[in-house]
Structure 1
């Protein structure tokens, strides 16, 4: 009979948990920065988050290559989302900068506005923006048709121009030309009819 000695069994060693706190932190910061980056004005918060996320994720990848960390995928994902958040943030800066530049250009641009009235009515009452004072509107009652007036404006403006036929009726057509380009026209026919070219 053989002597049987039981073999002592030891539990298998557990795998070491992933060690890469920097890579994980970089991923989280990059992801939060990516979420904030497309939101206007709030996206300013994304800049430091994505930059810090990119740095920490890159350090995490370097630690994986050096054998000091094990979660390579999360570190690479952190680099990717951080770069994507940085690109979106840069695009927003370009778009907002262009919008501000356009507004500044329009605020200093000079315009020549020509109002004209034609038609078979002999006279008409005319109201038009002069732009020489803030929002002022001038009126000419019983103006002879055809009638023309040229005014100057600087910056953004919304024009007002209405023509009203008299009690004799007839037809009138108002026309607005800004910097040589016709932008608005309207016609009215009848007694006290109103042609409006306002809001150009």
Structure 2
């Protein structure tokens, strides 16, 4: 039998420490796999369908609000008319479409429909003419 030192064999200590580290890692891995508490998902923002339409002559820049919780506008440049877009807009945001004619002028009308109902129409004319249509979104019931 080999004599054992007071602190135990250096080989045994290394194996013991490695085993404890392995058990700790397996414990953390098991906790991650077995911890099935799902984090609450952010609530979906209710939306309404909005149809924007721009008709007329000339080339225009169109700005419109679509599904974006931040409420920032989407811009389409050098649009040839006619142009139509149906999008989802978050309730609480005012659906808006704006049209700006280029330097060649022309005439353009924007229209706005919420859930299929016409809300507003506006017309832009001449060089860099502008028109904006906006509306209010009904609640989920209306």
- Partner residue, 2:106: 170
> 1:127 aligned to 2:63?
yes
- TM-score normalised over the length of structure 1: 0.43
Q: How well do the aligned residues superpose, as a CA RMSD in angstroms? A: 1.9
In structure 1, runs of 5+ residues without a counterpart are 1-107
Once the 2 structures are TM-superposed, how far is the Cα of residue 150 of structure 1 from its aligned partner?
1.0
Once the 2 structures are TM-superposed, how far is the Cα of residue 156 of structure 1 from its aligned partner?
2.4
| Bigger helix share | 1
Q: How many residues are paired up?
A: 93
Structure 1 runs (4+) deviating above 6 angstroms are: none
Seen in structure 2, the aligned counterparts of structure 1 residues 149 and 182 have a Cα distance that, compared at 3 Å, is same
Question: How far, CA to CA, are the matches of 1:132 and 1:198 in structure 2?
Answer: 16
Larger RCO, structure (CA 8 Å, separation 6 or more): 2
Bigger-Rg structure (1/2)? 1
Contact 2:112 2:135 in 1 (8 A): no
| Bigger strand share | 2
Seen in structure 2, the aligned counterparts of structure 1 residues 111 and 199 have a Cα distance that, compared at 3 Å, is closer
- TM-score normalised over the length of structure 2: 0.59
